[in-house]
Each structure stands twice: as structure tokens, then as C-alpha cells.
């Protein structure tokens, strides 16, 4: 994969919240396919993506119940639902027990490549088991939480599929809920001859989980790490904003910041973003800067050399209200070829400027 290409992930069992693709796309600009098998999860995951139109190009929700070769995108057969009349005779549609449902093989399309897959698997073998642990932090429906054989069987399915899809994913990863299962799965991975196995532990309050990752590629190939300097997205949070300051005010300040640098700006207030291009005359305009707003007078882009590096480079700044008092500011290059280091230098300047304008001194870090 070329260094300029974006990271692409596959979230197995993305759930109704579709949380990992939404986070990965909004914070890192990664693209995702999120799969699931229940009607409710698929419907709500799609709704959640549609409610974030700025991310919808980055996230595809896929029904794992329908074989990828069918080419169908909006599917009819889902787990926990009766198949529509006549569908059992349709060879393109799955019908069977949930333990036979496709996980990766049959869901991944021919020739598709991903940097990684991830999974927060259904943890329990039965409803009874799901209800046994009063300390569990999991809440969910039967279909979300239960899989015959529990997480060990589910992740074993991913391992089996990974043997057939060695070249489609750089990394296969999954969350594991029980340490005993982690040991079993690590042995299984060594047995099948993967090149690398990595584990880690996540602890939050009383709940411990483990991360398991494996790859069939040689360890020397650090694909994702090697892309980091070339990534084309960056973001930062403004936290601790005063009540009256929201995404709109921040967006207006972003616009002022770039106008003061002589850039041309096209704002889209409905999707809270501004497209910016530094013109050929950016440096001259800055010298004649007559804008008196606080942000432009003290924090406009300073170096003509630096502006030169960015001339003609189109990029988009998006501002997202997270919760009251917190907004996320994200920059993405609109030119896939030119995600240069200068792009991130200017973004750091924007961050400093916005923090200086909106945050009290003790909340700026
Ligand atoms: C524990 S939930 C995780 C949901 C979400 N990823 C999260 O972390 O909040 C497991 C999900 O896997 C889905 N699932 C079960 N079997 C699946 C399969 N064969 N392919 C894709 N998803 C599946 C369930 O419907 C459920 O939404």
C-alpha cells in the first residue's frame, strides 16, 4: 500500500452504536466497513452514520448475513428476524443458525484490502451466562451478547477466516473478555503459524479486557506506523469553552484566522466546515492586514515561507460540537497527494490561536 493511502479498518459486529467506525473516522480520518447481523444494529448503525453526513463517505455498514458475492448492499435477511417470504430459495441470502453466519469470509469482497479488522465479540455462550455476573459492565440484547461457544468460538471463527484472508488484512484484532480464552486463542494462533501475535490489557474500574492482534505479514513491515507522518487528517479538542461558545463561533474564528492570512475561504454553515485555499497573494494580503478581530491580529500565520509551502493546497476545517463546552476541530487535506508536514504546522498554529481566544489560561492544555 502506498504511504499516501488512508488507513482502512473493518469492524466486525459494529453494533447499533457503530462507535468504533464513528470515532476512527471523526478523530483520525480512517475509513471503515462495519458489519453486523441483526436488523436493529444494522438500522441504527446506518442512522448513526447518516446523522454524521461529514463522515458518511468514510463508513460503510454491511450486513454479514448476505454473501459478498451477491453484490447486494441493502439486505433483507438478518439475525433475530424471520426471513422474508421466499428468501430461503434465494441462493444469495443466508439462512441458518447464528453460529454458521459468515464473519469475514463471505463478507469481504474479492480484492478488498484492509489495514486491520477489529471486533468486540459477543462474549457469552448463553443468556444464563450473560446474566450470571452482576458486576458485568455489558448491557445488550441476546443477539448482541450471545454466540454458541461464546467469545472463544467467535474469535476462533475469525482466526479460521484469517487463514483464508492472510493477504486481505495487515492486522487481525479482537477484544477478549476472559483471560483463560486469551491463553487458548494465543496457543491456537501459534498452532496455525501466524507471523506475529500481540496482546495487551485494558483495565477500567473493575472490568478487565484484553486485546489480541495477529498478522501473517513479517514484523519488519510496520505499515500503519510508516504512514503516520504522511496522514492527511489531524484534529484537536477545545474543552472547557464558555457556555455561549459553540461550534458556530469557533467556525467563524477559523474563517477569520485564514482570511487574515489571505486565504480564500468557503464556509458551509450547515455542515460546520470551511474549505480553505491559500492564494498566490496570501503573503501580500497579510502585510496589508486590516482585519481587527482578536484572533487575526495576534495569531495569523506568520511566515511567508510557510505560506509559500501551502499555496494552492486546498484543505477543509470541520468543527463538531461534542457536548456543551467541548468542540472537536478537524483538518483534512482535500488534495490526496499533498498532505505535507507544513499542513500540520499550520494546524498547530490554528490550535494555539483558538485556545488563546477561547480558553481560560488554566484550561489551555
Ligand atoms: C458485544 S456486541 C459489540 C457491539 C459494538 N461493536 C460495541 O463494541 O459496542 C457484538 C456484536 O456482534 C454482532 N454479531 C454477532 N455475530 C456476528 C457476525 N457473524 N458478523 C458480524 N457481527 C456479528 C452482534 O449483533 C453485536 O452487535
Kindly report the average pLDDT of the chain as a whole number.
77
Pick the residue with more confidence: 308 or 268? 268
Asked if residue 318 has pLDDT above 60, the reply is yes
Q: Tens of pLDDT along 277-292? A: 866 554 443 433 434 3
- Mean per-residue pLDDT for 309-318? 74
Say if ligand 1 is within 6 A of residue 122 CB: yes
Domain 232-363 has CATH 2.60.120.10: no
- Mean per-residue pLDDT for 133-149? 66
CA-nearest residue for atom 23, ligand 1, is 13
Give 340 Cα–ligand 1 centroid separation in angstroms. Answer: 38
Say if ligand 1 is within 6 A of residue 103 CB: yes
Q: Tens of pLDDT along 86-140? A: 433 333 334 445 667 899 999 999 999 999 999 999 877 776 666 655 555 455 6
Pick the residue with more confidence: 122 or 197? 197
Residue 50, pLDDT score: 96
Say if ligand 1 is within 6 A of residue 38 CB: yes
Residue 291, pLDDT score: 41
What was the ipTM of the complex prediction?
0.99
- Homologous superfamily in CATH for domain 8-226: Vaccinia Virus protein VP39 (3.40.50.150)
Asked if residue 296 has pLDDT above 80, the reply is no
| Domains of the chain, residue spans | 8-226, 232-363
Is the pTM of the predicted complex or chain greater than 0.90? no
User: How would you write the chain as a 3-class SS string?
Assistant: CCCCCCCEEEEECCCCCCHHHHHHHHHHCCEEEEEECEHHHHHHHHHHHHCCHHHCCCEEEEECCCCHHHCCCCCCCCECCCCCCCHHHCCCCCCCCHHHCCCCCCCCCCCCCEEEEEECCCCECCHHHHHHCCCCCCCCCHHHHECCCHHHHHHHHHHHHHHHCCCCEEEEEEEECCHHHHHHHHHHHHHHCCCEEEEEEEEECCEEEEEEEEECCCCCCCHHHHHHHHCCEEEEEEECCCCCCCHHHHHHHHHHHHHHCCEEEEEECCCCEEEEEECCCHHHHHHCCCCCCHHHHHHCCCCHHHHHHHECCEEEEEEEEEECCEEEEEEEECCCCCCCHHHHHHHHHHHHHHHHHHCCHHHCC
Give 99 Cα–ligand 1 centroid separation in angstroms. Answer: 13
Amino acid at each position: 500500500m502506498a504511504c499516501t493511502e488512508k488507513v482502512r479498518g473493518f469492524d466486525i459486529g459494529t453494533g447499533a452504536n457503530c462507535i468504533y467506525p464513528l470515532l476512527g473516522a471523526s478523530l483520525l480520518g480512517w475509513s471503515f466497513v462495519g458489519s453486523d447481523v441483526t436488523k436493529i444494529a444494522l438500522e441504527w448503525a446506518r442512522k448513526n452514520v447518516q446523522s454524521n453526513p461529514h463522515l458518511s463517505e468514510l463508513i460503510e455498514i454491511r450486513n454479514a448475513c448476505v454473501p459478498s458475492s451477491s453484490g447486494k448492499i441493502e439486505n433483507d435477511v438478518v439475525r433475530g428476524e424471520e426471513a422474508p417470504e421466499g428468501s430461503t430459495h434465494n441462493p444469495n441470502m443466508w439462512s441458518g443458525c447464528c453460529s454458521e453466519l459468515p464473519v469475514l469470509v463471505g463478507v469481504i469482497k474479492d480484492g478488498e484490502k484492509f489495514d486491520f479488522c477489529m471486533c468486540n465479540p459477543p462474549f457469552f455462550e448463553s443468556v444464563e451466562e450473560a446474566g450470571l455476573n452482576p458486576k458485568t459492565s455489558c448491557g445488550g440484547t441476546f443477539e448482541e451478547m450471545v454466540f454458541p461457544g461464546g467469545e472463544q468460538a467467535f474469535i476462533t471463527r475469525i482466526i479460521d477466516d484469517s487463514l483464508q484472508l492472510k493477504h486481505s488484512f495487515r492486522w487481525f484484532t479482537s477484544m477478549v473478555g476472559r483471560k483463560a480464552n486469551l491463553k487458548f486463542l494465543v496457543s491456537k494462533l501459534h498452532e496455525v503459524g501466524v507471523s506475529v501475535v500481540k496482546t495487551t490489557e485494558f483495565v477500567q474500574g473493575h472490568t478487565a479486557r484484553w486485546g489480541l492482534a495477529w498478522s501473517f505479514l513479517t514484523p519488519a513491515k510496520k505499515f500503519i506506523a510508516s504512514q503516520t507522518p504522511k496522514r492527511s487528517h489531524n484534529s484537536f479538542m477545545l474543552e472547557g469553552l464558555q457556555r455561549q461558545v459553540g461550534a458556530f463561533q469557533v467556525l467563524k474564528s477559523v474563517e477569520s484566522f485564514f482570511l487574515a492570512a489571505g486565504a480564500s475561504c468557503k464556509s458551509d454553515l450547515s455542515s460546520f466546515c470551511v474549505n480553505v485555499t491559500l492564494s498566490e497573494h496570501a503573503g501580500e494580503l497579510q502585510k496589508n492586514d486590516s482585519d481587527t478581530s482578536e484572533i487575526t491580529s495576534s495569531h495569523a500565520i506568520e511566515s511567508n515561507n510557510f505560506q509559500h509551502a501551502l499555496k494552492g493546497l486546498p484543505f477543509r476545517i470541520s468543527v463538531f460540537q461534542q457536548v456543551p463546552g467541548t468542540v472537536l476541530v478537524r483538518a483534512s487535506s482535500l488534495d490526496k497527494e499533498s498532505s505535507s508536514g507544513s499542513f500540520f504546522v499550520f494546524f498547530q498554529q490554528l490550535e494555539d490561536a483558538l485556545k488563546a481566544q477561547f480558553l481560560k489560561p488554566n484550561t489551555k492544555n
